Amino acid sequence: MINDYNRLLSNILTYSGTLPLIASVVTHYFPATGWDSTFIAITYAAIIISFLCGIHWAVYLFFAEKYPRNLLITSNVVALLAWASLLATHQSVVIVLQALCFLYLLTLDLKLRDVGILPQWFYSLRRNATIIVVLCLAVIARLS
């Protein structure tokens, strides 16, 4: 069971993980920085999708008997989609594909919560972070 300190740390780290996407939205309004905020956002999003897929891969290794869907395959396919999205020539395609990846991973987390693998507090944290990320991607798509 996770203690209060680790739960707090999980919250801090998860919400901190959304900061690069929030910063990408903010820096879009300051072109004098010379940063390509869209490139930063989509690259970071691909990394985070891969990270989340790694979590699902590990969950399957430890809880395969509780969750029959093969997360080894789905997590690898989604991670590859995230990386392949970076090869798309239209940024709107990249952003939509990545947003769909985040939403799909959240649906997997919901199912993992429903079978008792993920606790409610963690699912709520993931849901909130996904909302922030998808909103940031939507704003970036609108601004690009």
Each residue's pLDDT tens digit, 2-53: 899 999 999 999 999 999 999 999 988 877 777 889 999 999 999 999 999 9
Domain presence at residue 31: no
Domain presence at residue 109: yes
Q: Which of 27-36, 46-55, 56-65, 133-142 has the lowest mean pLDDT?
A: 27-36
Domain presence at residue 12: no
Domain presence at residue 27: no
pLDDT-derived band at 1, boundaries 50, 70, 90: low
Evaluate if residue 119 carries a pLDDT over 80. Answer: yes
Instruction: Name the DSSP letter for residue 115.
Output: T
Is the pTM higher than 0.75? The answer reads yes
pLDDT-derived band at 100, boundaries 50, 70, 90: very high
Domain presence at residue 44: yes
Domain presence at residue 3: no
Residue 86's domain comprises 36-143
List, as one string, the DSSP characters of 52-79.
HHHHHHHHHHHHTTT--S-HHHHHHHHH
Average pLDDT of the residues in 105-113:
96
Evaluate if residue 139 carries a pLDDT over 70. Answer: yes
31: exposed, middle or buried (Cβ count in 10 Å: 0-12, 13-18, 19+): exposed
pLDDT-derived band at 69, boundaries 50, 70, 90: confident
Average pLDDT of the residues in 122-143:
96
Q: How many domains does the chain have?
A: 1
Domain presence at residue 51: yes
Report how far residue 25's alpha carbon sits from residue 37's, in angstroms, rounded to the nearest whole number. 7
Q: Is the four-CA dihedral 78, 84, 86, 89 of positive or negative sign?
A: negative
